[in-house]
Amino acid sequence: MKSQPRRFPATLRRVIDGDTVVLSCDLGFHVWADIDFRLARINCPEIGTPKAQEAKEFTEAWLDGRTITIETSKCDRYGRWIAEIISETGRKLSDELLLAGLAESYPKSKETK
């Protein structure tokens, strides 16, 4: 049975690289948790490559000071939750990184365990 996506409000704790972040998520009932997320549908340059720092800085700037919504339903093979990160205006961080030329589309079949 496929899991239904769940939505949580969240704020930025730390950006690891362009497509991996740690967010503080409101799980409800006054419970907050810091959770590792991998952005859905994209792959940013790996640390140590020319555009990696640019992608990381873009992600930091896009998330800085925002309360965002996380939509997630599954983990990747490294234990990170795969997530759409959505702004208050409905824009998705994955789409913004693609439009900026700082990410490539990532095949869905490789995202799941």
% of the chain residues with pLDDT over 90: 80
Domain range annotation of the chain = 6-103
CA separation for the pair 81, 84 (Å, rounded): 10
By CB atoms closer than 10 A (0-12, 13-18, 19+), residue 80 is buried
**pLDDT, tens only, 96-113:** 999 999 999 987 534 444
81 pLDDT more than 80? yes
**pLDDT, tens only, 1-54:** 567 889 999 999 999 999 999 999 999 999 999 999 999 999 999 899 889 999
What does the pLDDT read at residue 27?
Answer: 94
- Determine contact, residues 63/88, Cβ cutoff 8 Å: no
Kindly report the pTM of this predicted structure: 0.89
What does the pLDDT read at residue 109?
Answer: 39
What does the pLDDT read at residue 107?
Answer: 73
What does the pLDDT read at residue 112?
Answer: 45
- Determine contact, residues 11/62, Cβ cutoff 8 Å: no
Average pLDDT, the chain: 91
What does the pLDDT read at residue 106?
Answer: 82
Q: Which residues 6+ apart lie within 8 Å of 107 measured at CB?
A: none
Is the domain 6-103 a CATH 1.10.357.10 member? Answer: no
DSSP state of 55: H
Instruction: Pick the closest to residue 63 from 26, 28, 94, 29 (CA basis).
Output: 94
- Determine contact, residues 34/41, Cβ cutoff 8 Å: no
